[in-house]
């Protein structure tokens, strides 16, 4: 994994590729890699859909090895949704396969001079790029089937659906899972629109005859990986809770806390949340012959996903995540798991971010386009997006645009990106992260609950607003660090509670690369990434005024606890003082 594949989609005579060493990007993986590329090579003032923007696709530092949980793929660019830097990531098979093919990153540059669509094949024999307009407007499921018929059933696909081709702000990039279904998505920020602007419909990866990457110190690496796996398996979250119920296990708890955004963030509790909870979802999946426990890529031992079958026992979609169930469920007043699963399937097929799409439908419902709770109407609206009708184009552009078009005041976005499934009035610290993240409102921006282990916890009083800013800052640093290893963020809990498990992760990286990194080094990497990203956003025109929640979160009380967001602007402005 010591080379970068650059494909210039706008070269004279058609796309040209070149391979080169990682150079200054050596030692970076995942988000650290993509953010460094964007911050260094992309003019901050460029239009996100222009030839000047670049799309970086990078596996993690340990992808393609036997390290458990090392299958996260980062995608980075200037975001068409936020106008700032973006890193979105996904599970699935691609990171592992790219690693075994020897690539530290693929960078798509330029754009075709006409509307030609291309497919890219990467295997042991090299790289082939071919025009193929027969792929135009195919959904991700049909597209993958077509690629399988052409290239065999050992492939992994990175692709866009119609939404990416139409360059919508909510467009995602799909990655196929172990069953070669396009169910895992780098969803946030419209990264699929940038891939669409580059004219790349699909990147087909085939690692047949390629070997696992070999560590510099195999014995130490093996021992560290064993300790790593044992640590994840013994923890109640990574070893029991997530495998049993998936991320949707959060629905009942967040709802009970009164922090479950309901009907476009009007209430903090959804009366019938139990019908769409992780517990109910797992029961439904099992009863229909699906699976409540399933990995999204080989080498995953947490297995927080699942298989959701329809009432006839036929595959409908993968187990919808908590954020998806919330966005299309409680946030739209919908308590029908089958309808939510159908919406998840449509989102995956059209290639749109489930959070952005659910938030957008809720804004449209508030505007009167449909009634809250009308599942059929929600499905109809998402189909409009897939068809690219005028209404669909508006909705596909995201919650912020939809709110403007239909004159809605209550639009839950920061930097143009929709908030995920936690009301910032109920969980104020999350609100700090929503406001200040370089990515726009993003729950994973401060997800890595490992600040104490990383030594960036500091001595703060978490009960004060200053303490909340401090904690959010440290969480964002820790998350940037974990994102840069390419490890699944769900490792965070085991890392939080078990210092020896975190040490095992560092030991794996050191044994693989022959390094002697410490926890401090990892924390420094997190800070470096955030500074890259913050610097890019400043050059793109962002200021502290963009680090704000919409005013209504400060003014409208959230039932049932009737709380508002109380962290002051000047306190938010302290976040990047490091």
Residue 127 backbone class (left: φ over 0; alpha: ψ -120 to 50; beta: rest): beta
Confirm if 412 and 423 have CB atoms less than 8 A apart. no
**DSSP codes of every residue in 209-262:** TPPPPPPSSHHHHHHHHHHHHHHHHHSHIIIIIHHHH-GGGHHHHHHHTT---B
Residue (224 or 496) nearer to another protein, CB: 496
Window 265-304: contact mask with another protein (x via CB under 8 A): ----x---xxx-xxxx--x--------------------x
Residue (237 or 504) nearer to another protein, CB: 237
Residue (64 or 241) nearer to another protein, CB: 241
If one asks whether residue 188 binds another protein (CB under 8 A), the answer comes out as no
CB of residue 294 vs another protein: minimum separation in angstroms?
Answer: 16
Stretch that binds another protein, among 23-31, 196-204, 245-253, 345-353 (CB under 8 A): 245-253
CB of residue 187 vs another protein: minimum separation in angstroms?
Answer: 16
Number of residues that bind another protein (CB under 8 A): 62
If one asks whether residue 244 binds another protein (CB under 8 A), the answer comes out as yes
Helix/strand/coil (H/E/C) assignment for every residue in 495-537: HHHCHHHHHHHHHHHHHHHCCCCCHHHHHHHHHHHHHHHHHHH
Window 459-498: contact mask with another protein (x via CB under 8 A): --xxxx--xx--xx--x-------------xx-xx--x--
If one asks whether residue 384 binds another protein (CB under 8 A), the answer comes out as no
- Nearest alpha-carbon partner for 193 in 175, 219, 166: 166
Cis omega (within 30 of 0) on the bond before 63?
A: no
CB of residue 43 vs another protein: minimum separation in angstroms?
Answer: 34
Spatial neighbors of 329 by CB under 8 A, at least 6 apart, are: 270, 276, 335, 340, 358
Stretch that binds another protein, among 75-83, 240-248, 508-516, 530-538 (CB under 8 A): 240-248
Integer Cα distance of 55 and 242 in angstroms: 32
Q: Which of 457, 517, 535, 544 is the binder for another protein (CB under 8 A)? A: 457
Q: What 3-state DSSP class applies to 563?
A: strand
Residue (147 or 530) nearer to another protein, CB: 530
Confirm if 489 and 69 have CB atoms less than 8 A apart. no
CB of residue 426 vs another protein: minimum separation in angstroms?
Answer: 5
CB of residue 45 vs another protein: minimum separation in angstroms?
Answer: 33
Q: Which residues of 361-386 are buried (b: 16+ CB within 10 A; e: fewer)?
A: bbbbbbeebbebebbebbbebbebbb
CB of residue 34 vs another protein: minimum separation in angstroms?
Answer: 22
Integer Cα distance of 411 and 265 in angstroms: 9
Q: How open is the CA angle 400-406-411, to the nearest 5 degrees?
A: 35
List the interface residues with another protein, window 207-236 (CB under 8 A).
235-236
Lookup: tokens for 566: 């109380």
Integer Cα distance of 468 and 392 in angstroms: 39
If one asks whether residue 367 binds another protein (CB under 8 A), the answer comes out as no
Measure the CA dihedral 222/224/227/228, to 10°: -100
Spatial neighbors of 552 by CB under 8 A, at least 6 apart, are: 409, 410
CB of residue 440 vs another protein: minimum separation in angstroms?
Answer: 17
If one asks whether residue 80 binds another protein (CB under 8 A), the answer comes out as no
Window 412-451: contact mask with another protein (x via CB under 8 A): ----------x--xxxxxx------------x--xxxx-x
CB of residue 497 vs another protein: minimum separation in angstroms?
Answer: 9
**DSSP codes of every residue in 473-486:** HHHHHHHHHHHHHT
CB of residue 111 vs another protein: minimum separation in angstroms?
Answer: 37
Residue (273 or 505) nearer to another protein, CB: 273
Residue (17 or 493) nearer to another protein, CB: 493
CB of residue 447 vs another protein: minimum separation in angstroms?
Answer: 5
Integer Cα distance of 564 and 32 in angstroms: 35
Q: What 3-state DSSP class applies to 309?
A: strand
CA distances from 128 to 2, 17, 210, 277, 560 (A): 20, 9, 17, 45, 58
If one asks whether residue 502 binds another protein (CB under 8 A), the answer comes out as no
Residue (230 or 427) nearer to another protein, CB: 427
Window 329-348: contact mask with another protein (x via CB under 8 A): --------------------
Q: Which of 245, 350, 536, 553 is the binder for another protein (CB under 8 A)? A: 245
If one asks whether residue 126 binds another protein (CB under 8 A), the answer comes out as no
If one asks whether residue 312 binds another protein (CB under 8 A), the answer comes out as no
Residue (126 or 274) nearer to another protein, CB: 274
Q: Which of 131, 452, 535, 538 is the binder for another protein (CB under 8 A)? A: 452
Lookup: tokens for 164: 């990416």
Residue ranges binding another protein (CB under 8 A): 235-238, 240-242, 244-245, 247, 249-250, 252-254, 256-259, 269, 273-275, 277-280, 283, 304, 422, 425-430, 443, 446-449, 451-452, 457, 461-464, 467-468, 471-472, 475, 489-490, 492-493, 496, 560-561, 563, 566
């Amino acid at each position: 994994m010591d080379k970068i594949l650059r494909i210039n989609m706008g070269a004279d005579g058609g796309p040209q590729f070149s391979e080169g060493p990682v150079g200054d990007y050596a030692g970076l993986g995942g988000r650290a890699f993509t953010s460094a590329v964007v911050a260094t090579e992309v003019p901050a003032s460029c239009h996100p859909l222009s030839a000047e923007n670049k799309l970086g696709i990078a596996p993690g530092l340990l992808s393609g090895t036997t390290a458990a949980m090392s299958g996260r793929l980062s995608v980075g660019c200037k975001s068409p949704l936020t106008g700032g830097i973006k890193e979105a990531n996904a599970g699935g098979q691609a990171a592992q396969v790219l690693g075994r093919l020897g690539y530290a990153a693929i960078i798509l540059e330029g754009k075709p001079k006409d509307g030609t669509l291309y497919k890219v094949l990467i295997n042991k024999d090299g790289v082939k790029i071919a025009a193929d307009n027969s792929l135009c407007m195919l959904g991700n499921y049909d597209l993958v089937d077509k690629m399988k018929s052409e290239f065999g059933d050992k492939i992994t696909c990175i692709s866009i659906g119609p939404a990416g081709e139409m360059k919508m702000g909510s467009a995602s990039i799909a990655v196929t899972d172990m069953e070669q279904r396009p169910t895992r998505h780098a969803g946030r920020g419209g990264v699929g629109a940038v891939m669409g602007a580059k004219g790349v419909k699909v990147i087909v990866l085939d690692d047949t005859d390629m070997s696992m990457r070999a560590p510099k110190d195999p014995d130490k690496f093996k021992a560290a990986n064993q300790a790593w796996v044992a640590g994840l398996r013994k923890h109640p979250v990574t070893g029991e809770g997530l495998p049993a119920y998936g991320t949707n296990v959060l629905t009942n708890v967040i709802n009970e806390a009164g922090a479950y955004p309901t009907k476009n963030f009007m209430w903090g509790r959804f009366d019938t949340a139990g019908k769409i909870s992780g517990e109910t979802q797992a029961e439904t999946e099992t009863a229909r012959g699906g699976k409540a426990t399933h990995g999204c890529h080989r080498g995953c031992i947490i297995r927080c996903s699942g298989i959701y079958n329809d009432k006839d026992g036929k595959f409908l979609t993968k187990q919808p995540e908590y954020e998806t169930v919330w966005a299309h469920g409680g946030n739209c007043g919908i308590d029908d798991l089958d309808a939510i699963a159908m919406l998840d399937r449509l989102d995956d097929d059209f290639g749109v971010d489930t959070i952005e799409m659910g938030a957008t439908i809720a804004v449209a419902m508030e505007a009167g386009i449909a009634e809250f709770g009308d599942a059929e109407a929600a499905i109809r609206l998402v189909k409009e997006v897939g068809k690219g009708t005028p209404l669909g184009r508006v909705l596909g552009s995201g919650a912020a645009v939809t709110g403007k078009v239909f004159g809605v005041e209550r639009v839950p976005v920061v930097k143009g990106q929709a908030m995920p499934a936690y009301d910032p009035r109920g969980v104020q610290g999350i609100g700090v992260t929503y406001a200040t993240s370089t990515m726009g409102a993003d729950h994973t921006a401060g997800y890595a609950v490992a600040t104490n282990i990383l030594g960036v916890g500091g001595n703060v009083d978490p009960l004060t607003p200053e303490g909340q800013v401090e904690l959010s800052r440290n969480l964002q640093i820790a998350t940037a660090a974990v994102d840069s290893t390419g490890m699944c963020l769900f490792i965070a809990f085991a890392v939080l509670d078990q210092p020896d498990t975190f040490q095992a992760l560092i030991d794996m990286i050191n044994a693989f690369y022959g390094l002697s990194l410490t926890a401090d080094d990892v924390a420094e990497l997190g800070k470096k990434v955030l500074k890259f990203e913050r610097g890019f956003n400043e050059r793109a025109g962002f200021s502290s005024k963009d680090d704000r929640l919409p005013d209504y979160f400060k003014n409208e009380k959230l039932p049932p606890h009737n709380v508002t967001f109380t962290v002051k602007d000047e306190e938010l402005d302290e976040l990047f003082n490091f």
